[in-house]
Amino acid sequence: MLRFRFLLARKSLFYKKTEFGNGLRLITVPLKDIKTAAILILVKTGSVYEKKRENGISHVLEHMLFKGTKKRPHTINIARELDSVGAKFNAFTGKEFMGFYTMVNSRHLDIGLDVLSDIFLNSKLEKIELEREKKVIIEEIKMYYDTPMRHIEDLWENLLYGDQPAGWDIAGTKENVQKMNQESLKGYYSSQFVASSTVIVLAGKFEKTGVPKKIGDSFSKMKIGLPRKIPKTQEKQNKPQYLLEHRKTDQTHLILGTRAYNVFHPDKYALSILAAILGGNMSSRLFTSIRERRGLAYYVHTLGGSHSDRGYLATSAGVEHQKLEKTVKLILKEYKRIIDDVTEDELNRAKEFLKGRFLIELEGPDDYGFFVGGEEITIGEILTPEEKCAKIDKVMLGDLKRVAKDIFRAEKLNLAVIGPHKNKNKFQKLLGF
């Protein structure tokens, strides 16, 4: 039985946060008129916490937690129990946090909680399973590399941040994965999977009484400790940069963008609005210019990305090889134009688009769980949906122009390209801005 004290961190209209004596945080989000519940376990660790020789270990650990416990010895035992109640379940590894989750019919909430807590706390991490799973993960790495539309994202972050944790692939390298052993895996788990780095989210239909005690009892033996600190990302750039990965492809894939703001920066909302106006939807400037008017690409999209100490705005597209230069010029043209030429109508439409998509993404208990859990583990503060929308509404036209002027400068530009191109000089000329 866990001895704990409840610390009510914040109570709002839609969630309650409880902190246990060992540092574990529980966030409950009761949702009316639905019949399901989602349980998420988020841990503040990921690829940016890794050392170079172990790059990929977080992702390997994610896989290994599904490989058996004493109570459920094999993967099939875990999967069969959750499948028997129609549960959705999965896991993921990111740069700065990992997650394990299941969504169940609320009548089977106890089963979902029991299975998820068991694999999270009691996985055997056996040698024989590790050796088998290494092969699976290496195939996964090959799959990402063979998918240029996906691999270009890794290339882009490597261009921005280079040989430091923020610039390494989440999945690691084939060589690193092959060298990992049971001892290193258990050591990383022991170091990083501690109570103070863990957030549990329960969202949906559930009985409010007794839930904190149940979860507290399930996680009573979780280790108390201080995990590794995230290393500060070094960003040094004074001229445009490009990175070309030469290979034979049927299409050239590119990401062109600029360094921007971290997740704590107040201008991150203005950044999201700029991204929406430029290439966030089917009526955006770049989608209209590149796809609809000229037929240069099937996909073209602009996104603002923010992490704890870094961020960017970037446009991705896949084009015919001979149309690369034209596409880059069109993207740069819109980057330049938006510094001085953006209207109130565009601003208002982008605001409504972002708020609408945000609210649509909160339709399910798992969506709500990811929202509140992600906010808690990355920022340490959870805004209500209304507060989040109000932040978007506060962005004015002057804010957009000020942010655009700040980020769209030649010395902040970066271009990553995958395709059969050899003339590197043309990329340098293109990025003169």
In DSSP terms, which residues pair with 378 in a beta bridge?
Answer: none
Tokens 């099939």 found at: 76
**Secondary structure of the chain in the HEC alphabet?**
CCCCCCEEEEECCCCEEEECCCCCEEEEEECCCCCEEEEEEEECCCHHHCCHHHCCHHHHHHHHCCCCECCCCCHHHHHHHHHCCCCEEEEEECCCCEEEEEEEEHHHHHHHHHHHHHHHHHECCCHHHHHHHHHHHHHHHHHHHCCHHHHHHHHHHHHHHCCCHHHCCCCCCHHHHHHCCHHHHHHHHHHHCCHHHEEEEEEECCCCCCHHHHHHHHCCCCCCCCCCCCCCCCCCCCCCEEEEEECCCCCEEEEEEEECCCCCCCCHHHHHHHHHHHHCCCCCHHHHHHHHCCCCEEEEEEEEEECCCCEEEEEEEEECHHHHHHHHHHHHHHHHHHHHCCCHHHHHHHHHHHHHHHHHCCCCHHHHHHHHHHHHHHCCCCCCHHHHHHHHHCCCHHHHHHHHHHHCCHHHEEEEEEECCCCCHHHHHHCCC
Whether 352 is a known active-site residue: answer no
Given phi > 0 = left and psi -120 to 50 = alpha, else beta, which region is 372?
Answer: alpha
Report CA-CA distances (Å) from 238 to 260, 391, 404, 427.
Answer: 14, 32, 18, 16
**Spatial separation of the C-alpha atoms in residues 82 and 101, rounded to whole Å:** 11
Cβ contacts of residue 308 below 8 Å, gap of 6+? 96, 230, 262, 263, 264, 378
Considering 19, 50, 62, 157, which one is annotated as catalytic?
62
Q: Position 26: which residue type?
A: L
* Catalytically active residues, by annotation: 62
